[in-house]
Amino acid sequence: MNKVSLPATLARATFLSFIAALVIMPLVATVLGGFKTVGELRASPFGLPWVWHFDTYLGILGSPTFWNFLGNSLVISLTAVALTLLCASMAAFVFAQIQFFGSRYLQSYLLLGMMFPFATAIVPLFIQVRDFGLLDNPLGVILPQTAFSMAFAIVLLKSFFEQLPKELFEAAHVDGCGYIGFFFRFTLPLSTPILATVGTFVFVQSWNNYLLPLVVLNDRSLFTWPLGIMQFRGEFIVEWNKILAFVSLTILPALVFFAVTQKYIVAGLTRGSVKG
């Protein structure tokens, strides 16, 4: 370890705390803002509330539409995660376990999906979803979402499957276990860490997605929470305390989720970047 002088330590601590304050301050102001009245928010946007008003938060928590937004988002995100994990791990298993003519081409083809944002094709995608009759249908969000997560999921899963010991399959094969049985009985259970990583990523992406639901969902009862929050903002444009309370109630679960899953998120990030 380097010997570090006292001024250097102090400078380091000050710098880190300063940046941390810049990160935290807007978030704290948001949460506290929900406890203030509009008038107080104007006078003291960043300080502690003079009086803690709980009614704004309680009002939102008591409204069925709020829970409906969250419920819709949850259904869409969880389905997208399940579907992505299933389809991508089956494909990744084939690429990792079986050599066949065209495997390389197919993999490069799927890799194309990591090259461009899905916004690129959003106009024809909208037409496509409409022609399938999937407008105002959660599947209209879920299926494109799954398709766009596929490339990234396959890359991560395949590299993990390839690291599983080959002897395992040979042993299972001798015992009469076929590829499909092996996949469900051994590959998947042994791959929970990577499945958790990929699942977390797909979940966060889907949960936060705005453009796709915006294009596909028109019916308010189907709105995901980002659509709901934007609509809410349109209604209460000057009542910042309500908007901030609404935002707080959606970011708090996200931050809790992050605290619980950050191990997997960081793993996915670094895996993706180390692989390049």
Q: Output 164 or 251, the one with its CB closest to other proteins.
A: 251
Instruction: Tell me the two tokens of residue 104.
Output: 């390389």
Size of the site for other proteins (CB under 8 A): 95
Q: How far apart are CA 249 and CA 38, in angstroms?
A: 18
Measured from the CB of residue 107, what is the shortest distance to other proteins in angstroms? 10
**Of the two residues 146 and 191, which places its CB atom closer to other proteins in the complex?**
146
Min dist. Cβ of residue 116 to other proteins (A) = 4
Q: Are 138 and 218 in contact (CB under 8 A)?
A: no
Q: How far is the CB of 55 from other proteins (least distance, A)?
A: 19
Structure tokens that stand for 237 in this block = 């444009």
How far apart CA 88 and CA 202 sit, in angstroms, is 12
* Residue from the set 14, 15, 67, 221 that interacts with other proteins by CB under 8 A: 15
The distance of closest approach from Cβ of residue 102 to other proteins in the complex, given in angstroms and rounded to an integer, is 8
In the complex, what is the shortest distance from the CB of residue 270 to other proteins, in angstroms, rounded to a whole number? 4
Among 32, 198, 202, 204, binds other proteins (CB under 8 A): 204
Residue numbers 101-120 binding other proteins by CB under 8 A: 101-104, 106, 109-110, 112-113, 115-120
Residues 195, 89 contacting (CB under 8 angstroms): yes
Please give the sequence-ordered ranges of beta strands (E in DSSP) within the chain, or none if there are none.
none
Enter the DSSP assignment of 187. I
Choose among 165, 161, 181, 164: nearest CA to 173.
181
Work out which of 10, 48, 254, 260 binds other proteins, going by CB under 8 A. 254
Q: Return the residues of window 58-87 that contact other proteins according to CB under 8 A.
A: 86-87
Q: Are 228 and 213 in contact (CB under 8 A)?
A: no
**Rounded CA separation 89/96 (Å):** 10
Among 7, 100, 165, 189, contact with other proteins (rule: CB under 8 A): 100
Segment 176-195, which members bind other proteins (CB under 8 A)? 178-180, 183
- Does residue number 160 form part of the binding site for other proteins (CB under 8 A)? no
Tokens representing 38 are 């509009």
Q: Does 240 bind other proteins (CB under 8 A)?
A: yes
- Please name the residue ranges forming H helices in 164-210: 166-174, 179-182, 188-190, 192-208
Is 269 one of the binding residues for other proteins (CB under 8 A)?
yes
